[in-house]
C-alpha cells in the first residue's frame, strides 16, 4: 500500500522545510520526501495544502501507563519504593496501554514516549520506549530496555530517610549506587569467565549499563547532584543522560565537554520543591548555546504530554532557536531512546510516524488534524476524535 501526503509544508527536521512538499509512504515506511516527488497512480493521496507535515513528537521522560490519570492508588505502579535498589524492575511490566494519557498524547502530536520507573529509589529499574497506540504494550514497544533509571537528590532522601533506612543523605545515595555498580561489575566479570554465580536479574540489568548497551538515566535537578552524576559515570564508564537538569545550565561547560545530553523539564510547573528554584524556560537556550543536546520533557502526568509542543513554544519565546526547539521534541529524544534509526525525522527509510498539523506546531493555537503510525491513520480531528486502525484492528474504542 502506498500513501502520498501532498501540498503541505513538510518539516523533515534533518533538512530544511519543504514548501508544497510530498511525503511518499510505502508499507509503513517513508520512501521519499521533497518538492518534486512523483506520486504513483495507485497511491492514496492525502491533501495537506495549507498545513504542516511534522514527524511524530517524542517525549523521552514520562510515566505514562504506569502512573495512570484518574485511577488514584489503583493506577500507581511507577515506584517500588520498598528497597533502595530495584534494578531488576522493568517499566514495561507496569504499563497499562489503555491509559488515557496515550490518547491525549496523540492529540498533541506525541506519537512515542519513554516510560521510566519513578524517582524514589537510587536505582529504580529499566526504562522502555513505546509508541502511543496499540492494543497491547507489546505491540507498542520500540526499544526495551531503553535505559536504567537512577535518582539523586530530594526524592530518595525523603522516601528512604523518612522510613529510617539508608539512604537518608546525598552521600548515602551515592554510596548505594556505587556499591550496586561495583557488585554488578564483579558479577559480570565472573559470568564472562564461566565462573559466575546464580543469575541475579538486578546485576544483569546493571551489567548492560556497564557494557554501554543502554544509558544511565539520571534524575537530578541541582548542580551538585549533576556533578555527582558525572563523577559516578566517569568512575564506572557508562553513558550518562541527565534527566530534568533544572540547574544543568550552571554546569553546562562540564556537560558539553563530555557530550552529555540533557532532558530538560517539566517546565510548565511551579517550584514545588527546593530543587526547582532555578526552573526557567530560558534554561533551554542556555544549554543549547553551550553546545549541549537538549530534549524537552513533560514528566507526564506531572505535565500532560500533549503540552510538549507548548513547552517548546515557550522556550522559543525565551530565545531558543526554532530549529533546535523542533529537534528537542523529535530527533534529540529519539537519539536518547536509541530509536533515531526509526523515528524522529522524515527521512527515507524511517517509519512513517507523522502528523498533519493545522499550522506551525510551535504556535499553541494550532492542532493535530491527522496522525499516522507506520503509515496508518490512527487519529483524525473532525470536531471530535475518530479512531483509525493499527495492524488492521481498531486500537481504541
Summarised one tens digit per residue, pLDDT across range 78-111 is 999 999 999 999 999 999 999 999 999 999 999 9
- Where along the chain do its domains lie? 57-340
Task: Reduce the DSSP state of residue 210 to 3 states and report it.
Answer: helix
Summarised one tens digit per residue, pLDDT across range 25-75 is 999 999 999 999 999 999 999 999 999 999 999 999 999 999 998 777 778
What are 137's strand-pairing partners? none
Task: Reduce the DSSP state of residue 160 to 3 states and report it.
Answer: helix
Least confident of 191-195, 216-220, 363-367, 375-379: 191-195
Residue 397 has pLDDT above 50, yes or no: no
Going by the DSSP 8-state scheme, the letter that residue 68 receives in this structure is -
Per-residue H/E/C for 355-369: EEECCCCCCCCCCEE
Give the max Cα distance, the chain: 70
Quote the pLDDT of residue 69.
85
Quote the pLDDT of residue 195.
80
* Start-to-end C-alpha separation, the chain: 25
Spatial CB neighbours of 236, under 8 Å, sequence gap ≥ 6: 181, 185, 210
Q: Which fold has domain 57-340?
A: TIM Barrel (3.20.20)
Amino acid at each position: 500500500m502506498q500513501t502520498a501526503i501532498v501540498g503541505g509544508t513538510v518539516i523533515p527536521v534533518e533538512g530544511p522545510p519543504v514548501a508544497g512538499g510530498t511525503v511518499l509512504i510505502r508499507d509503513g515506511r517513508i520512501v521519499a520526501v521533497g518538492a518534486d516527488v512523483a506520486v504513483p497512480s495507485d497511491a492514496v493521496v492525502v491533501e495537506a495544502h495549507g498545513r504542516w507535515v511534522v514527524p511524530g513528537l517524542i517525549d523521552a521522560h514520562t510515566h505514562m501507563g504506569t502512573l495512570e490519570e484518574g485511577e488514584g492508588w489503583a493506577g500507581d505502579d511507577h515506584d517500588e519504593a520498598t528497597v533502595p535498589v530495584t534494578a531488576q524492575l522493568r517499566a514495561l511490566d507496569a504499563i497499562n496501554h489503555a491509559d488515557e494519557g496515550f490518547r491525549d498524547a496523540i492529540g498533541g502530536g506525541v506519537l512515542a514516549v519513554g516510560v521510566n520507573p519513578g524517582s524514589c529509589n537510587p536505582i529504580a529499574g529499566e526504562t522502555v520506549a513505546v509508541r502511543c497506540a496499540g492494543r497491547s504494550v507489546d505491540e507498542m514497544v520500540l526499544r526495551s530496555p531503553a535505559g536504567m533509571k537512577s535518582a539523586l537528590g530530594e526524592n530518595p532522601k525523603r522516601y528512604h530517610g523518612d522510613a529510617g533506612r539508608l539512604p537518608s543523605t546525598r552521600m548515602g545515595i551515592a554510596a548505594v549506587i556505587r556499591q550496586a555498580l561495583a557488585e554488578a561489575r564483579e558479577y559480570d566479570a565472573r559470568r564472562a569467565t564461566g565462573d559466575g554465580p546464580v543469575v541475579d536479574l538486578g546485576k544483569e540489568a546493571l551489567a548492560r549499563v556497564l557494557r554501554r548497551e543502554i544509558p544511565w538515566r539520571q534524575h537530578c535537578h541541582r548542580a551538585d547532584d549533576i556533578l555527582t552524576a558525572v563523577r559516578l559515570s566517569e568512575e564506572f564508564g557508562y553513558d550518562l543522560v541527565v534527566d530534568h537538569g533544572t540547574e544543568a545550565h550552571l554546569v553546562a561547560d562540564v556537560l558539553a565537554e563530555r557530550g552529555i545530553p540533557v532532558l530538560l523539564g517539566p517546565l510548565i510547573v511551579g517550584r514545588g520543591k527546593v530543587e526547582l528554584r532555578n526552573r526557567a524556560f530560558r534554561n533551554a537556550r542556555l544549554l543549547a548555546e553551550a553546545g549541549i543536546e537538549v530534549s524537552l520533557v513533560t514528566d507526564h502526568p506531572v505535565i500532560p504530554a500533549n503540552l510538549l509542543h507548548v513547552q517548546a513554544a515557550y522556550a522559543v519565546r525565551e530565545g531558543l532557536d526554532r530549529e533546535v526547539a523542533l529537534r528537542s521534541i523529535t530527533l534529540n529524544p529519539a537519539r536518547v531512546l536509541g530509536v533515531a534509526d526509526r523515528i524522529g525525522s522524515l527521512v527515507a527509510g524511517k517509519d512513517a510516524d507523522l502528523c498533519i498539523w493545522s499550522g506551525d506546531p510551535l504556535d499553541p493555537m494550532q492542532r493535530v488534524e491527522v496522525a499516522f503510525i507506520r503509515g496508518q491513520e490512527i487519529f483524525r480531528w473532525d470536531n471530535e476524535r475518530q479512531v483509525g486502525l493499527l495492524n488492521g484492528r481498531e486500537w481504541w474504542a
